[in-house]
Amino acid sequence: MQHTLRVRAAAVAAAVLALSLTGPVRPAAAATATVAFTGDYATVFTNPERGFHNRYEIINDPAVNDYASNTIPGFNPDMLDRTFARAKADGDTLIHSYVHLDKYQTSDLPQPLLDNLTTGLAAIRAQGLKIVLRVAYVWDGYSAVTEPQMERHIDQLAPVLSANADVIMHLEAGFFGAWGEWHESPYTAASEQSQAPVRAALVKKLLTSTPASMPIAIRYPIFNYEFAHGTTMTTQDLDRLGFHDDCFLADSADMGTYDQNSWLGWFDVAQKKQWVYDYATSTGGNKIVGGETCNASGGNDAAGVNAQYELGHQHWTEINEDYAAVNTDLWKSTAVAASGSDPAETLFTRIKRKLGYRLRLTDATFSSPAAPGAAFTFSAHLSNDGYAGIIKPRPVYLVFDDGTHRYNVALPGVDPRTWKPGALTVPTQTVTLPAMVSGSYRLALWLPDQAAGLRANPAYSVRLANTGTWDAANGYNVLAGAVSVGACTGDCTAPTAPTLSAGTVNGQSVPLSWSGATDNVGVTGYRVYRDGTAVATPTGTSYTDTTVPAGSHTYTVTARDAAGYESPASNPVTVTVNAPTQPPPVGLVLDDFDGTPAYPSAAKNDLGRWTGGNCFLNGSGNGVVTGGSLALQYNNCGWFGSDVGQDVSGYTYLVVRIKGTSGGEQAHFSLSVGGTTKVFGDFTLDGGGHPAITTAYQDIRLPMVANGINRASPSQLALGFWYGGNSTVTVDSISFQ
């Protein structure tokens, strides 16, 4: 297992304090262990309830399903394979199937159809998979089944769906129109208010007839808007409603997905896409978003930029691998450069890795040693490197396993649905351990299925993106190979705390030294912390921290012994690192915010042309110039514009000198210039990388030709902050070089 272990005392107390020769003895405070993990950034591995899906006919009896027959054009016999060999060969865990009711548009469903559906879902369970279902009355044509007939069919299907909810990932709303896609029917004209009650009634019927843990995906965003603003659906109802786009990137509006008018008002494509970007449940999780591509790729590009942007910003969990090849083949042939934590790979591989959640542990801290029947604490830092969070409820357990005894300890205060993309913290959880047999245990993190009947199958448990942690046989992620439970033997005493001092700061270098700590067996090394984060693990008693960001920083140091115990922290030492000198920009300077002209009062940039901003949280909406830089504080709102108004063909790069309060702000705003508009982090740098804003100033050099910027007519440069972010970026200068 490629991780490191440290143990530290939770209090700066002596091991025991004798109050008198015969008085009581107070034991030391409990110790904790912290494990740092190695991330796996490249491996494609399976995980439940996410990823590419494959299409099958789950009702495989041609007597009740005409599509289970080779008389249908495009029929593939392996779609009846209930071992799902093709899906397993693809490494997929999701199946998609229609429930074809063409033969029953005016009649009840026969029991053999319901029985065949039941056995099909049992086959899904037997193979460790989950399924997405959609009811449809016609393939390619107009459907006008009556509302009472549809509701009668829901009543008949509901017992089967509920009994097999454990293996149903979600439902697509279906029923209406061709392919159940909510077009070509008398109920799906978004502009007709008279049809809205039928749509709402069908969805409400599905909601009330199926378990609350079963999401329902709606074909068009305009109908989700209608349900939220034109009906009396509850918050609990709306939390279950997601979106399936069945023409992903077919053209600029995904072939009708985003361009319908509504009786509630007119909304352009950008607004409807923003709705999807903003989809969230009332408890802070992502909603289900999935679907497939169309047999067109008008909205895609050879570099795969659009695909990655939309999948990430819309938080896609699943997509069809079988349709359409015009896109999936393009993704397989498109090489994308390394970016952030993503390695260089094909676009298809990147999508396969990142669809849905991809959870990676950074570190975990827990009580060690542990005592049976006593309090046990656990906390962790992790990152979700995927496009979306976990969608459905899922319990989290700590597992103590010595090979003979296994104890599953629930963490009821942890909801993994809130682990959305980005850096995450599991705050300290305190639980009471059961009466355990004393000994040495493996400690693991287990995220099994919500259905108790599936928990024995490791295929339904979440694997974390770390090296050396996954136990495939047990379906859990090993945090530590040996945690003592009960009486401790051997070295159980942590070293004493060192005494820390700092030398003279030299530029961005901070020299540190400390007195040697003592231990009952022996000190093996030290750990240096800057602002609470470990930055080095020297074996001696000195260390120089280099390239330290400007500002005030507090250092501490701890000692470690051979048993892995870590001492209490040393005395804190605070130092100040001055910012390196703000070099002046070269080339054609649009603005360096040095006060000449004054911003925003002069409304002029360094080219003597108009500049200004609005909707920011500072500077009365304009942002604030301080120390020769423009600080823009935003919360999903803000616009800055500065006219260029001249030919810049003599320059190669647009250079933005910028930093962020937290780092990572490149995903929070777009940059527009010369006919090109992209989220800042989606611009391409020399070598194929992408901009990444840090907490320190850096010159981000955007090659204009490679990014499609019209240098002959750059027009206005604009920054737009409507992408869900909340932070402050500080722009030191903007220039053409």
Tokens representing 712 are 């002959």
Angle at 723 between CA 719 and CA 728, to 5 degrees: 65
Tokens representing 96 are 């998609």
Whether residue 729 contacts residue 669, with contact meaning beta carbons closer than 8 Å, is answered with: yes
For residue 12, the model assigns a pLDDT of 30
For residue 529, the model assigns a pLDDT of 87
**C-alpha pair distances (Å), 224 with each of 227, 229, 245, 276, 418:** 5, 9, 13, 10, 22
Single-letter amino acid, residue 371: A
Domain with CATH 3.20.20 in the chain: 51-354
What average pLDDT is seen over the chain? Answer: 90
Q: For residue range 303-323, list pLDDT tens digits in order.
A: 788 899 999 999 999 999 999
Q: Taking residues 19-23, what's their average pLDDT?
A: 30
Tokens representing 85 are 């060999």
Q: In sequence order, which ranges of 210-319 are alpha helices (DSSP H)? A: 221-229, 235-239, 269-278, 305-313
Q: Taking residues 650-661, what's their average pLDDT?
A: 95
Angle at 736 between CA 733 and CA 737, to 5 degrees: 110
DSSP 8-state class, residue 265: B
Percent of the chain whose predicted confidence (pLDDT) is above 90? 74
28-37+358-485 CATH fold: Immunoglobulin-like (2.60.40)
Residue 533: is its pLDDT beyond 80?
A: no
Residue 300: is its pLDDT beyond 70?
A: no
CB-count exposure of residue 256 (10 Å: 0-12, 13-18, 19+) = middle
**C-alpha pair distances (Å), 657 with each of 515, 683, 686, 733:** 42, 15, 16, 5
**3-state SS assignment for residue 152:** helix
Q: For residue range 566-589, list pLDDT tens digits in order.
A: 788 899 999 988 866 677 788 999
Residue 18: is its pLDDT beyond 50?
A: no
Q: Which residue has the higher pLDDT, 493 or 437?
A: 437
For residue 375, the model assigns a pLDDT of 96
**C-alpha pair distances (Å), 662 with each of 423, 555, 577, 634:** 12, 20, 18, 13
Percent of the chain whose predicted confidence (pLDDT) is above 70? 93
588-736 CATH fold: Jelly Rolls (2.60.120)
pLDDT band (50, 70, 90) for residue 27? very low
pLDDT band (50, 70, 90) for residue 23? very low
Tokens representing 128 are 């460790």
CA dihedral 499, 505, 507, 511 (to 10 degrees): -30
CB-count exposure of residue 497 (10 Å: 0-12, 13-18, 19+) = buried
Whether residue 41 contacts residue 54, with contact meaning beta carbons closer than 8 Å, is answered with: no
Q: For residue range 32-45, list pLDDT tens digits in order.
A: 888 888 899 999 99
For residue 74, the model assigns a pLDDT of 60
Strands in 278-414 per DSSP E: 289-293, 318-320, 335-336, 345-346, 359-367, 375-384, 397-401, 406-410
Angle at 247 between CA 242 and CA 249, to 5 degrees: 105
The CATH number that domain 51-354 falls under is: 3.20.20
153 membership: H or E segment, kind and range: helix 147-163
CATH of 500-577, one of 3.40.50.2300, 3.90.1310.10, 1.10.3720.10, 2.60.40.10: 2.60.40.10
Least confident interval from 81-95, 192-206, 324-338, 376-390 = 324-338
Distance, CA of 692 to CA of 680 (rounded, Å): 9
For residue 28, the model assigns a pLDDT of 38
Length of the chain: 737
Least confident interval from 199-203, 258-262, 426-430 = 258-262
Domain with CATH 2.60.120 in the chain: 588-736
State whether the Cα torsion 319-321-327-332 is positive or negative: positive
* Chain position carrying tokens 């697509």: 172
